[in-house]
Amino acid sequence: MANELPLHIGFIMDGNGRWATRQGLSRSEGHVAGANAFRRICEYGCDLGIKSMTFYAFSTENWKRPPAEVAAIMDIFRDYLREAEERKLENAQKGMHMHYMGGRDGVPEDILDLFDTAENESINATRTTVNIAVNYGGRAEIVHSVRNIAKRVQAGELAPHEIDESLISAGLYTAGQPDPDIIVRPSGEYRLSNFMIWQAAYSEFWYTDKLWPDFTEADLDQIIADYAKRNRRFGGV
């Protein structure tokens, strides 16, 4: 299976609220169930040796949700990151590197500190990079990269004709990582929702009606098996 593994899988973790409604639970309880699914898939993907996994945890648009729901999601981040701190030796042995992916404005300072600690303490882990996209938007990510390029041009460090795709890619949050080979979208939706829109230029897509909290290791096995059957031509024959 190692030769058939995608190097990078992106997960749009969708359906927590609908899952909770079907179970007669609160939306916050749905997010807790979604976090448990994240742990399962994250651990299993690392065990398989997938080089990068990106989990869309909280978008720039999610701030529009009710304050109580946003606060509950932030508490889930705190719980997960504190748990990661307690398991840092185990995660290091697994080779799991944590990486915060997104804008920092508006995110509670204590959560950013926990992310920074997790990232710094796992810096030498090289088996799997786990990108957790928080306060993330694909368009905002591109703007972030372009603004930094513009500053370099303004400072005379760079000429406009030197700007190319690789330079923009180098300024993205996923710099140094392969673009996603496949992006997974659960919950019966068929859109990217502003997720890695630059990096997804040649990504494969895998859709399912299953809601994210119900995702299992067997689902990831199926995704990888389906991916191995696809013919990726990248515009060629």
Which of 14, 179, 181, 219 is flagged as catalytic?
Answer: 14
- Enter the tokens of residue 10: 């992106």
Q: What is the value of pTM for the model shown?
A: 0.94
Which of 36, 62, 135, 179 is flagged as catalytic?
Answer: 62
Q: What's the pLDDT at 2? A: 46
Q: What's the pLDDT at 236? A: 62
- Enter the tokens of residue 182: 């496949």
Whether 62 is a known active-site residue: answer yes
Q: What's the pLDDT at 193? A: 96
> CA 106, CA 58: separation in Å to the nearest integer?
12
CATH (residue range 2-137+180-228):
3.40.1180.10
Q: Which residue has the tokens 């590197």?
A: 97
> CA 8, CA 98: separation in Å to the nearest integer?
14
Other CB atoms closer than 10 Å to residue 150's CB: what's the count? 13
Domain boundary assignment for the chain: 2-137+180-228
Whether 16 is a known active-site residue: answer no
Q: What is the mean pLDDT of each run of 10 residues along the chain (237 residues)?
A: 80 96 96 96 95 98 96 96 89 91 97 96 93 98 98 97 97 97 96 97 96 97 94 68
Under 8 Å between Cβ of 56 and 11:
yes
